[in-house]
Every structure is written in C-alpha cells, then in structure tokens.
Amino acid sequence: MSAVLHGALVAALNDHAPLRSRLTAVFAAPPVRSAMPYALVTESVVADWSTKDQPGIEARVAIELHDGGEVPGRLRGLAEAAGAALAAMPRELGEGWRVASLVPVRTRVVRVRGGDWVAVVEARVRMLRG
C-alpha cells in the first residue's frame, strides 16, 4: 500500500511540468550524488485508517527539495510548485487504492551542513482500498 503511494508521489512530481522543468531529477531514494536542485520522495509514516468494511491508511508524506546557493529564494518557489504537484496528484492510485483526502501540513526551509538548502513539503494523505 505505501509502495503504491510512494510511486504515485514520484509520478506526480515528474508529471508536473512547472516543477519538473526546474529540477535536475526526482528520486525515490536518496541519491549517491546529483546536481541541484533535485527532489526526493522520502519514506512515509503510515498508520491504519481502515473503516468497518474497507482497508485504509493515513500517511504523512514528505518531499525534500535540495538546492545550493547563498539564499533560498529559488527553493521557496520549488516548494510551492511541489505543493501544487501534490494537489494535482490523481486520486485513483492503482491496485484498488484511492486518495480520500490530501491535506498540506507544513513547509519548512532549512540550511544544512555544507551550506546547501533543503525545503521539506509535508502532507497528510488518507487512502482507502475499494
């Protein structure tokens, strides 16, 4: 179930032209190395959200956007575009799973070791399997 969601998140970022045209790559696992800026779909925190008659999950998903530079101006724009890509994600994910709700939770931009910047875009996704 979370594999279906993880794949859908990667596809949503790759399919969102305004975001994809500004990134060097979208990764499903941490890259060994990559040119910046790039996106990483991290592993989700998943909990049961089943109903009486349908299996379901609630997942906290996070998209990391990595960039360099003196200031995080470009990264803020990438974070907005990533949020738009999540909002545009198809609701039917495959293997019988569909998104019941997708709610943005928070976005945070931080400077990391080495002087690079990382923006984390988090959302809560609730899914049911029909």
Look up the CATH number of the domain holding residue 76. Answer: 3.30.2000.30
Average pLDDT, the chain: 95
Mean pLDDT on 5-22: 96
| pLDDT of the residue at 115 | 85
Give 1's pLDDT tier (boundaries 50, 70, 90): low
**pTM recorded for the entire structure:** 0.93
Kindly indicate the confidence band of residue 114, based on its pLDDT and cuts at 50, 70 and 90: confident
Per-residue pLDDT at 25 exceeds 70: yes
Instruction: Give mean pLDDT, residues 112-120.
Output: 91
* Torsion angle (degrees, nearest 10) of CA 5, 11, 75, 22: 180
DSSP state of 9: H
pLDDT at 58: 97
Residue 88 has a CB neighbour count (10 Å cut-off) of 12
Q: Please give the Cα distance from 68 to 73 (Å, whole number).
A: 10
User: 39 — alpha (psi -120 to 50), left (phi > 0) or beta?
Assistant: beta
The one-letter amino acid at 93: L
Count: domains in the chain: 1
Q: What is the pLDDT averaged over residues 94-119?
A: 94
The partner residues of 59 in beta bridges, in order of sequence, read: 46, 125
pLDDT tens digits, residue range 45-99?
999 999 999 999 999 999 999 999 888 989 999 999 999 999 999 999 999 999 9
Instruction: Note the pLDDT of residue 79.
Output: 97
